[in-house]
Amino acid sequence: MNAFTKKNLEKQSFFQKIFKKLPKQNFIIEIENYLSEHENDISDISIDFVNELVSKYKVNYDKSFEEDKKRLFTQFLNKVLEDEKISDNESASLKALQKFLQVKDIFINKILTEKTSEIYKSKVDDVIKDGVVDDKGKEYIENIRKNLLLSDSTAKNIYNAEAQKLLTDLVNNSIKDERLSPDEEKQINELAKNLDVRITYEEKTKAALDKYKLFWIIENGEIPTISSDINLQKSENLYFKTNIEWYEMKSVTQRVNYSGVSTRIKICKGVYYKIGSVAPERVTQDIWKIVDNGTLYLTSKRIIFIGTKANKNMKLDKILAFEPYRNGVQIDKDTGKATFFSFTNNVDVFSLLLSRLMNEYSKK
C-alpha cells in the first residue's frame, strides 16, 4: 500500500475565476501528488518545488497547512514501519521529508515515539505473556528496540509498564475472593522474579493484601495470637482486642394511647358525657442504648469486656448468632436481649475470627 495518493485538482469556483484565484486546497494536493511520484526515493524531493507552489498559490507555507503536513509525514512513517523497523535509508528519507514539509521537531519526536512504542509494546506483550522471559526473549525484544531506533530509557519504561500490568492482573485474580493464600503469594513473587521487575504496592494496596493474607490464615491456618494485658484462663489464647461501645436493646415507651368502647350523651351545647371505660395503651419500641464503653477481648473461649462501669464475660457457646455491620457487630445470645459492639476498626477480622472460634468451640 502506498503512503501517498494521487488526486485530481479541485476546479475553480465561479468567483475564483472572476478574481483569478486558485483553490488553496490544490496546494496540498499538488504536494501529495509530487510526493507520490517520488515515494520510492524520497531523498530526491526538492524544496524548489515547494517554493514554486508558494509563488503560484501565494500561501505562507511555514505557517499554513499544519495538519495536512503532519498527516503526510505520518502516512509515510506508517509505510516505513510496516516491516517494524527503520533502516538507515528510511531514517534519511524521514529527515528529508521533515525538511520538505517543514514540520517541527517536537511533532516529529512525538509521532516517532508513539508509533515505535506501540510496536515495541506489542512485541513485549508477546514475549512476557507466559510469565517467563528467557535469554532468547530478551535478545528478541532488544533487536526490536534497535530496529525501531527506540532509546534504552523509553524501551525500559515500556517493558516495566507491561510487566507491571501482567503482575497486577495476577494479583487481582488472586484476591477476587478477598483471600491471599501462601501459594498465590508465591506465584506472584515468582512471576515478578521471572519478569525481572520489582513488586511495588501503594500503601493502601499493601494494607489490603496484608488483610487478605490474614483472612486466609484465619480460615485455613493457625490463627496468630497476641499478647494479653489481662489475666486469662489456662490454655486460653487472645486473638483480638479493640476499644468498643457496648449497646444493648432496650424497650422504651414512645407515647401513651387511650382506647376503649364508649358512647356520648349530649348534656348541653358543647358538653358531652362519655359512657364506657378508657384504658391506657403503651406504645413501645426497641432501640439500641449505650450502657458502657471499654476494651473488648476475643479469646479462644469467650468475649471479655473491661468497661468503665462493669466487666462482662460472654462464653462462645452462649452465642447463637452474630451479624457484622460497617460500624460494629450484633450478638444474639441464648438468653437476654441482643448486644451490639460498636467499633469500626477491623470489623471484618473480628467477624472471621469469631466465626472460626465458634465453630471450633462447638466441636469440643
Asked whether residue 126 is domain-assigned, the answer is yes
Segment 70-117, tens digit of pLDDT: 999 999 999 999 999 999 999 999 999 999 999 999 999 999 999 999
Residues 33 and 64 placed together within one structural domain of the fold: yes
Amino acid 355: pLDDT:
94
Amino acid 203: pLDDT:
92
Task: Say whether pLDDT at 276 is over 60.
Answer: no
Residues 304 and 333 placed together within one structural domain of the fold: yes
Residues 194 and 126 placed together within one structural domain of the fold: yes
Q: Is 235 left (phi over 0), alpha (psi -120 to 50) or beta?
A: left
Asked whether residue 7 is domain-assigned, the answer is no
- Contact indicator for 241, 226 with CB cutoff of 8 Å: yes
Task: Say whether pLDDT at 266 is over 50.
Answer: no
Q: How confident is the model at residue 262 (pLDDT cuts 50, 70, 90)?
A: very low
Residues 260 and 326 placed together within one structural domain of the fold: yes
The grid coordinates of residue 150 equal 527506540
Amino acid 208: pLDDT:
93
Residues 83 and 128 placed together within one structural domain of the fold: no
Segment 178-220, tens digit of pLDDT: 999 999 999 999 999 999 998 888 899 999 999 999 999 999 9
Average pLDDT over the chain, rounded to an integer: 90
Place of cell 520489582: 198
Amino acid 254: pLDDT:
59
Asked whether residue 326 is domain-assigned, the answer is yes
Asked whether residue 38 is domain-assigned, the answer is yes
Q: How confident is the model at residue 363 (pLDDT cuts 50, 70, 90)?
A: confident
Asked whether residue 116 is domain-assigned, the answer is no
Residues 263 and 295 placed together within one structural domain of the fold: yes
CA distances, 337 to each of 138, 252, 329 (Å): 68, 14, 14
Amino acid 256: pLDDT:
52
Residues 72 and 136 placed together within one structural domain of the fold: no
Of 185, 219, 253, which closes a domain?
219
Residues 212 and 244 placed together within one structural domain of the fold: no
Tally of CB atoms within 10 A around 329: 20
- Contact indicator for 23, 16 with CB cutoff of 8 Å: yes
Segment 287-301, tens digit of pLDDT: 899 999 999 999 999
Residues 246 and 328 placed together within one structural domain of the fold: yes
Give the global pTM.
0.75
Q: How confident is the model at residue 272 (pLDDT cuts 50, 70, 90)?
A: very low
d(CA 257, CA 197): 74
Task: Say whether pLDDT at 145 is over 60.
Answer: yes
Contacts within 8 Å (CB) and 24+ apart, 203-211: 208/175, 209/171, 209/175, 209/180, 211/348, 211/349
**Residue 249's domain spans which residues?**
238-362
Residues 248 and 340 placed together within one structural domain of the fold: yes
Q: Which CATH number does the domain housing residue 302 bear?
A: 2.30.29.30
Asked whether residue 110 is domain-assigned, the answer is no
Asked whether residue 154 is domain-assigned, the answer is yes
Q: Which residues pair with 312 in a beta bridge?
A: 305
Segment 311-339, tens digit of pLDDT: 999 999 999 999 999 999 999 998 888 89
Residues 298 and 355 placed together within one structural domain of the fold: yes
Asked whether residue 2 is domain-assigned, the answer is no
* Total domains, the chain: 3
Task: Say whether pLDDT at 279 is over 80.
Answer: no
Residues 353 and 265 placed together within one structural domain of the fold: yes
Q: What is the mean pLDDT of residues 16-37?
A: 92
